[in-house]
C-alpha cells in the first residue's frame, strides 16, 4: 500500500511552509526596519537629557508613578531609548553630600585654620608739640591709633589708616542723653577703612550710672569685632556739672556702669583717665580692669606708678593726613604679635 504515504508527505511539507511564513521573508532579507518607519519620524540628533539637574539627576531612573502628558508627535512614537536619562554636568555639579574637604576632623589641631591678620601700618604722625620721652618713647611701640569725636569733623579714614591709625576709639555718648553727631558715620567708615574700633562714653557725674549705661547701650551696637567699650572718667571744668563725688562714690558709680556694659557686650570695659582724676580716685582701684592712661609729658610709669596699662594717650596735638586740625594719638602696650592676639580674642 504506497498511496497513504503520499498524503502524509504532502501534509508535512505544508506544515513546514506554514512555520517559515510566520516571520515573513523580510526578516531574513532586510537587516533594518523599512524606510516607511524611519522616514515618518525625525529622530533627535543626540539623546535628550533628563530634566533634573543636580541631586535629582544622581538618582537612578525609575518608572514614573504619575501619568505623563502625551507628546504630539507626527507619526509613530520614536524609539524610547532616545529619551533614556543620561548623566551630564551643567556648570558646577551639585554634590549629594558635603565634600570630604569640608568636613572638620574629629580632633582638629589648635591653630590649624589661620586667623585673618590685619595689616599694621607704621605711624607717620607728626606732633604740633613734640615731647622727648627718652628711651621709653611711644615710637618704640608697634601699634598706634587715634581717638576722635565731632571736633575732628569729616575724616578721610582710608588716608588716616595708612598714616598709622591701626585702631580708633570713637566718641559715642556722654551723660544720659547726648550722642556725638559724628558717631554713627565714624563708626561705619572706620570699619570700612580696616581700623579696629571701639566706642567711649564720657561719664557725667550729675546723672545716675544706670541711666548712662542704658544710653550707651542704646546707641552703640554690639559687634563681635569691636574693641572693648571705654568709660572716660575725668574732672571737666567746662562741664555744667560741677559735682565732685567722694572717691568711694565715684568708684561705686563706675562699678554700676561697667558691670552693666560688661553684661551686655561680653567684654570688660576699659577705664580711660587723666592724672588728676586718677590721683584723687583711682590709685589701687579696679585692678582687674584694663586702663587707658593720658600722659602727654612723661612716660605712664612716672605719672601712674605701679599701674599696668593697655593704651597710652601720648599726645593731644597730633597732626595727620586725613584729618583737619589736631588729633589725639595713642599706642598699644605690646608687640605687633600681642596686638594680633588681642584683636583675635575679640572676634568670633
H or E segment at 196? strand 196-202
Phi, psi at residue 271, to the nearest 5°?
-100, 120
Chain-centre distance of CA 308, in angstroms?
33
Whether the CB-CB separation of 234 and 274 falls below 8 Å is answered with yes
89 assigned to active site: no
Q: Which of 191, 202, 166 is nearest to 330 (CA)?
A: 166
Tell me the C-alpha to C-alpha distance, in Å, between residue 86 and each of 53, 68, 69, 89, 97.
11, 19, 21, 10, 21
Whether the CB-CB separation of 231 and 200 falls below 8 Å is answered with yes
Rounded distance between C-alpha atoms, residue 101 and residue 98, angstroms:
8
Q: Which of 156, 158, 214, 234 is catalytic?
A: 234
Helices 247-265 & 209-219, crossing angle to 10 degrees? Answer: 30
Q: Which of 147, 174, 180, 232 is catalytic?
A: 147
Whether the CB-CB separation of 150 and 343 falls below 8 Å is answered with no
H or E segment at 145? strand 144-148
Rounded distance between C-alpha atoms, residue 219 and residue 211, angstroms:
13
Chain-centre distance of CA 71, in angstroms?
51
Rounded distance between C-alpha atoms, residue 32 and residue 35, angstroms:
9
Tell me the C-alpha to C-alpha distance, in Å, between residue 286 and each of 200, 208, 237, 240, 294.
18, 20, 25, 28, 17
Rounded distance between C-alpha atoms, residue 137 and residue 100, angstroms:
52
> What is the grid cell recorded at 215?
544710653
147 assigned to active site: yes
H or E segment at 260? helix 247-265
Active site residues: 147, 234
Amino acid at each position: 500500500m504506497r498511496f497513504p504515504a503520499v498524503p502524509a508527505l504532502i501534509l508535512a511539507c505544508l506544515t513546514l511552509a506554514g512555520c517559515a511564513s510566520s516571520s515573513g521573508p523580510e526578516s531574513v532579507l532586510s537587516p533594518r526596519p523599512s524606510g516607511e518607519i524611519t522616514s515618518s519620524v525625525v529622530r533627535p540628533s543626540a539623546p535628550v537629557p533628563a530634566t533634573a539637574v543636580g541631586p535629582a539627576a544622581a538618582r537612578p531612573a525609575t518608572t514614573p508613578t504619575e501619568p505623563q502628558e502625551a507628546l504630539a508627535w507626527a507619526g509613530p512614537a520614536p524609539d524610547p531609548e532616545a529619551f533614556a536619562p543620561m548623566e551630564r554636568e551643567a556648570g558646577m555639579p551639585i554634590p549629594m553630600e558635603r565634600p570630604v574637604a569640608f568636613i572638620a576632623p574629629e580632633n582638629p589641631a589648635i591653630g590649624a585654620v589661620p586667623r585673618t591678620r590685619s595689616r599694621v601700618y607704621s605711624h607717620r604722625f607728626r606732633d604740633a608739640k613734640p615731647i622727648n620721652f627718652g628711651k621709653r618713647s611711644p615710637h618704640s611701640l608697634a601699634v598706634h591709633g587715634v581717638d576722635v569725636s565731632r571736633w575732628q569733623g569729616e575724616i578721610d579714614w582710608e588716608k588716616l589708616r595708612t598714616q598709622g591709625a591701626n585702631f580708633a576709639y570713637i566718641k559715642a555718648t556722654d551723660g544720659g542723653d547726648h550722642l556725638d553727631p559724628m558717631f554713627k558715620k565714624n563708626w561705619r567708615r572706620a570699619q570700612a577703612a580696616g581700623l579696629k574700633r571701639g566706642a567711649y562714653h564720657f561719664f557725667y557725674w550729675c546723672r545716675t550710672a544706670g541711666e548712662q549705661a542704658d544710653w550707651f547701650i542704646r546707641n552703640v551696637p554690639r559687634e563681635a569685632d569691636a574693641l572693648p567699650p571705654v568709660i572716660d572718667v575725668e574732672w571737666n571744668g567746662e562741664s555744667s556739672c560741677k559735682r565732685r563725688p567722694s572717691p568711694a562714690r565715684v568708684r561705686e558709680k563706675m562699678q554700676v556702669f561697667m558691670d552693666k556694659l560688661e553684661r551686655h557686650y561680653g567684654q570688660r570695659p576699659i577705664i580711660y583717665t587723666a592724672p588728676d582724676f586718677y590721683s584723687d580716685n583711682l590709685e589701687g582701684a579696679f585692678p582687674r580692669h584694663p586702663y587707658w592712661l593720658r600722659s602727654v609729658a612723661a612716660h605712664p610709669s612716672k605719672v601712674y606708678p605701679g599701674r599696668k596699662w593697655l593704651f597710652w594717650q601720648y599726645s593731644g596735638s597730633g597732626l595727620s593726613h586725613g584729618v583737619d586740625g589736631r588729633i589725639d594719638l595713642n599706642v598699644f602696650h605690646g608687640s605687633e604679635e600681642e596686638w594680633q592676639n588681642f584683636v583675635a580674642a575679640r572676634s568670633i
